[in-house]
């Protein structure tokens, strides 16, 4: 098993059909113990129960730096180490630029980008002490092409910022034995858009994808497994595009 006896923190892990929980399930299959974080207390408790007694749920708002640090300390104490961070928590809006309120802009930037920053800072001291670690930041094809099916300017800016954050972390933390990378999913068949992506829209998108389908949460989980495990032991500072060929550069 690729992650035997390793501890992984996964943010945004409550949604039943989400990337976070799909990643937690896959990591558990590969022997990891997972610390599942989300603002949805009931959802995250249910997710941890599904995975089993060696997994734990923590209510955490990633925009709250103090809470992120406190949760990292709790995970360190309970599990004895932090080997992996999957920065997955996010939010999307499709508001045209001239209609974006300041509060919405702040929410998109704070959850998608600043949340990655806060959680990375929370785990770095623990990873540095053990001389190893892997950080994976979940971004989006929107950061590559300036927007997505639903995400508009502020979302694209935040997701693009994640690329720079991951590369900056990779460069600064390499001497500490800590790797940092990003994943850029294309359209995913999950509940992230809260039902706005209809079956007709999915079919139309699939016709545009060279591989003939839109992604599933497990596709992104597989990419996270690669970047979190020793399979990518000499990989840091990359953006891994997982979109079926929708964006090729």
Q: Judge whether 209 and 155 are in contact, CB under 8 Å.
A: no
Please tell me the distance from the alpha carbon of residue 25 to that of residue 142, in angstroms, as a whole number. Answer: 26
Annotated catalytic residue 155? yes
Q: What is residue 55's DSSP assignment?
A: -
3-state secondary structure of 191: coil
Q: How many Cβ atoms sit within 10 Å of the Cβ of residue 5?
A: 12
Please tell me the distance from the alpha carbon of residue 174 to that of residue 78, in angstroms, as a whole number. Answer: 26
Show the tokens assigned to 187.
């359209």
Write down the residue that tokens 């933390």 correspond to.
173
3-state secondary structure of 11: strand
Please tell me the distance from the alpha carbon of residue 76 to that of residue 61, in angstroms, as a whole number. Answer: 18
Write down the residue that tokens 């079919």 correspond to.
203
Q: What are phi and psi of 116, to 5 degrees?
A: -60, -45
Which of 36, 61, 32 has its CA nearest to residue 46? Answer: 36
Show the tokens assigned to 244.
């079926």
Catalytic annotation, pick one of 27, 155, 163, 192:
155
Residue positions annotated with a catalytic role: 155
């Amino acid at each position: 098993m690729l992650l035997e006896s390793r501890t992984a923190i996964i943010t945004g892990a409550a949604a039943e059909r989400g990337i976070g929980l799909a990643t937690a399930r896959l990591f558990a299959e590969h022997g990891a113990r997972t610390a599942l974080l989300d603002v949805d207390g009931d959802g995250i408790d249910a997710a941890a129960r599904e995975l089993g007694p060696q997994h734990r749920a923590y209510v955490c708002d990633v925009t709250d730096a103090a809470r992120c640090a406190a949760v990292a300390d709790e995970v360190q104490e309970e599990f004895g180490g932090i080997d992996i961070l999957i920065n997955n928590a996010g939010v999307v809006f499709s508001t045209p630029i001239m209609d974006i309120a300041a509060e919405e802009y702040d929410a998109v930037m704070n959850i998608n980008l600043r949340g990655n920053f806060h959680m990375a800072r929370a785990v770095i001291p623990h990873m540095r002490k053990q001389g190893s670690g892997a950080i994976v930041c979940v971004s989006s094809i929107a950061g590559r092409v300036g927007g997505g099916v639903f995400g508009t300017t502020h979302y694209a800016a935040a997701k693009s910022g994640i690329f720079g954050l991951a590369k900056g972390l990779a460069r600064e933390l390499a001497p500490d034995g800590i790797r940092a990378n990003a994943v850029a999913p294309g359209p995913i068949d999950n509940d992230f858009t809260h039902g706005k992506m209809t079956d007709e829209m999915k079919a139309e998108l699939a016709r545009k994808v060279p591989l003939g389908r839109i992604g599933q949460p497990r596709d992104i989980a597989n990419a996270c497994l690669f970047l979190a495990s020793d399979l990518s032991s000499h990989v840091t500072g990359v953006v891994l595009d997982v979109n079926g060929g929708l964006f090729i550069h």
